[in-house]
Amino acid sequence: MGIATSTKPFVERVEEAKKDKFMQASVAKAQDAQWDKREAARKELGNWEQWRDLGEQIRQHVIKYLPDYLEEFADNVEKKGGHVFFAKTDQEATEYIKDLAVKKAVKKVVKSKSMVSTEIDLDKELMKLPGVSVMETDLAEFILQEDNWDEPTHIVFPTLHKNRDQIQKVFEKLGYTGSNEPEKMAKFARKYLREYFLQADMGVTGCNFAIADSGMINLVTNEGNADLTMAIPKTQVVVMGMERIVPSLKEAEVLDNMLSRSAVGQKLTSYCSFSGKRTDDESDGPDDFHVVIIDNGRSNALGTQFESVLQCIRCGSCLNVCPVYRHIGGKGYGSIYPGPIGAVLSPVLDGYEEFGDLPYASSLCAACTETCPVRIPLHELLIEHRHVMMDKLHTDHSLTNTIMKTIGVGTGSPILFKSAMFGANTASKVVSHHDHDSVAGFLYETGRIGKLHKPVPKFARGWTDIRDLPQPAKSHENFRHWFKKHKQEQAAKGGK
């Protein structure tokens, strides 16, 4: 399914998410805990806003000179005996990796967590090969795999939607007999996975940053599984989005610092490694080393108003501050890239037909823009998507479209607005009833708001289905009327 995690329409996914009280509680708890950890880690670093400036500059620079840096990186990988393959599409990428697996007679593949490998459906494609099995070695991804290949709901914490009891049940299918304590379950998974590691003949990892001037791959994890995936199997495949590149170790250091603090609230993750093909003086590492650099829609953003989405370093902090993600979770978005970054990126990669709803799944509160370590103006890009859909592609032909255009005319013409203000109180009587003596602003005096009758026009119903609407001010009681009178009284008193 590529980046889509569901075939259901957006409204249905939201409806399901709304019923999932466990997921909501779990996401809220994680968001609140991450808020404290993240802010503390950033504060401890100091001068966070200047770090953001630097992070943004590094990423913008790389995107601007992307072809040059990719070439430099590829040259350096090849100089050390590695191979680089540029894949235009997901299919080109998976075909290359499958061919390699066949050529090498691979039986057991170990993988570390990689969003781009999920994006191209690599696991499922590899398992189509006869005699090939795949093992996800990141604890969370392992849980998803053993739970009948459930989809990740967060780009950093893939199992955010599952609780420890659910995980215990998944592990019991593998012979686990212990309690639901996370430490015990992790120990079980560790033992289970270790055996698999030792037998693996192909390793697949993602890539946090590719270092252009040395051809090295920088991986950042807390479990060390990515390093084992790099060290043990003789054949190694790195899959990376084409934008995940930095000029040198110097820039990687800056971004790793920001990534760890933003993603998990740590100064640095437990493991932060830089590696590549085994060199002659190294005892472990792959002898056959392949880097698959994937476009798969990313170049749609190049040179457009969406280019800054490629600055993303996949820290997930925009998900962790998003009030919409808080309530609909990853499944609500229906993309492996959920949250604000997903709502911007998914339509860029896969188009508006599949993901046109996502840019509207935002109150534009700008918490995402505020937290983004590399200053992607996420909420502005959401408006930009809406702009492309409404003004340029004209995808909305509903009544709402007509209403919005009418509002556009009404808010641009003083005469029309004044007559609307004059008639608002009367017009609202069609849809509302209220005490005969109620006046606009009476909400402030009594804490009550006029109740509405149904049916009301469809667009207004979204509002009135869940909350009351205050009664519009009568024309002789509105602010402008008061102001005029007030000024006249001042003048009469001989004032101004």
Partner 1 sequence: MKVAIFSTCVVDLFFPKVGQAMTEVLERFGCDCYLPENQICCGQPTYNSGYLKETDKTLHNEIDSLLSVDADYIVGPAGSCVAMLRSYKNSLKDDPEYAQKAAELADKSYEFSQFLYRVLGVVDAGAQLDAKATYHRSCHMTRLLGEATAPFVLLDHVKDLEMTPLPNIQNCCGFGGTFSAKEPEISQTMVDEKVDSVLSTKAEILISADPACLMNIGGRFSRRGEKIKIMHIAEVLNSNVDVKRIKYKKDIEKVEQ
DSSP state, residue 138:
S
Distance of CA 5 to the CA centre of its chain: 13
User: Taking the complex as a whole, how short is the minimal distance between the CB of residue 409 and partner 1, in angstroms?
Assistant: 7
CA–CA gap between residue 309 and residue 330 (Å, rounded): 19
Size of the site for partner 1 (CB under 8 A): 79
**Structure tokens of 22?**
């466990």
User: Taking the complex as a whole, how short is the minimal distance between the CB of residue 65 and partner 1, in angstroms?
Assistant: 26
User: Taking the complex as a whole, how short is the minimal distance between the CB of residue 216 and partner 1, in angstroms?
Assistant: 37
User: Taking the complex as a whole, how short is the minimal distance between the CB of residue 31 and partner 1, in angstroms?
Assistant: 9
CA–CA gap between residue 212 and residue 247 (Å, rounded): 5
Q: Which 448-487 residues touch partner 1, going by CB under 8 A?
A: 448-449, 451, 459-463, 465-473, 477-484, 486
Closer to partner 1 by CB, 24 or 266: give it.
Answer: 24
User: Taking the complex as a whole, how short is the minimal distance between the CB of residue 440 and partner 1, in angstroms?
Assistant: 6
48-64 vs 21-45: helix axis angle to the nearest 10?
100
Our finding on whether 2 is near partner 1 (CB under 8 A) is no
Sole window of 43-51, 121-129, 177-185, 362-370 interacting with partner 1 (rule: CB under 8 A): 362-370
Sole window of 161-169, 229-237, 279-287, 445-453 interacting with partner 1 (rule: CB under 8 A): 445-453
Closer to partner 1 by CB, 92 or 396: give it.
Answer: 396
Helix (H, G, I), strand (E, B) or coil at 205: strand
Closer to partner 1 by CB, 163 or 413: give it.
Answer: 413
CA dihedral 486, 489, 491, 496 (to 10 degrees): -50
Closer to partner 1 by CB, 224 or 470: give it.
Answer: 470
3-state SS record for 54-122: HHHHHHHHHHHCHHHHHHHHHHHHHHCCCEEEEECCHHHHHHHHHHHHHHCCCCEEEECCCHHHHHCCH
3-state SS record for 206-257: CCCEEECCCCEEEEEECCCHHHHHHHCCCEEEEEEECCCEECCHHHHHHHHH
From candidates 199, 411, 419, 488, binder to partner 1 by CB under 8 A: 411
Q: Which 45-64 residues touch partner 1, going by CB under 8 A?
A: none
From candidates 47, 248, 305, 363, binder to partner 1 by CB under 8 A: 363
From candidates 412, 430, 492, 493, binder to partner 1 by CB under 8 A: 412
From candidates 46, 130, 175, 447, binder to partner 1 by CB under 8 A: 447
Q: What track of x and - describes contact with partner 1 for positions 364 through 403 (by CB under 8 A)? A: xxxx-xx------------x-xxxxxxx--------x---
Q: Which 264-323 residues touch partner 1, going by CB under 8 A?
A: 321, 323
Provide the b/e sequence for 385-405 (b: ≥16 CB within 10 Å): bbebbeeeeeeeeeeeeeeee
Q: Name residue, tokens 């075939």.
A: 7
Closer to partner 1 by CB, 149 or 360: give it.
Answer: 360
User: Taking the complex as a whole, how short is the minimal distance between the CB of residue 427 and partner 1, in angstroms?
Assistant: 11
- Name the strands in the sheet holding 216-221, side by side, starting at the edge strand that comes first in the sequence: 245-246, 209-211, 216-221, 271-275
Q: Which 152-181 residues touch partner 1, going by CB under 8 A?
A: none
From candidates 407, 433, 435, 453, binder to partner 1 by CB under 8 A: 407
User: Taking the complex as a whole, how short is the minimal distance between the CB of residue 404 and partner 1, in angstroms?
Assistant: 5
Sole window of 82-90, 96-104, 254-262, 327-335 interacting with partner 1 (rule: CB under 8 A): 327-335
User: Taking the complex as a whole, how short is the minimal distance between the CB of residue 276 and partner 1, in angstroms?
Assistant: 41
User: Taking the complex as a whole, how short is the minimal distance between the CB of residue 288 and partner 1, in angstroms?
Assistant: 48
Instruction: Name the nearest CA neighbour of 42 among 356, 259, 203.
Output: 259
Q: Which 341-360 residues touch partner 1, going by CB under 8 A?
A: 360
Instruction: Name the nearest CA neighbour of 276 among 224, 239, 231, 213.
Output: 231
CA–CA gap between residue 264 and residue 469 (Å, rounded): 41
User: Taking the complex as a whole, how short is the minimal distance between the CB of residue 459 and partner 1, in angstroms?
Assistant: 6
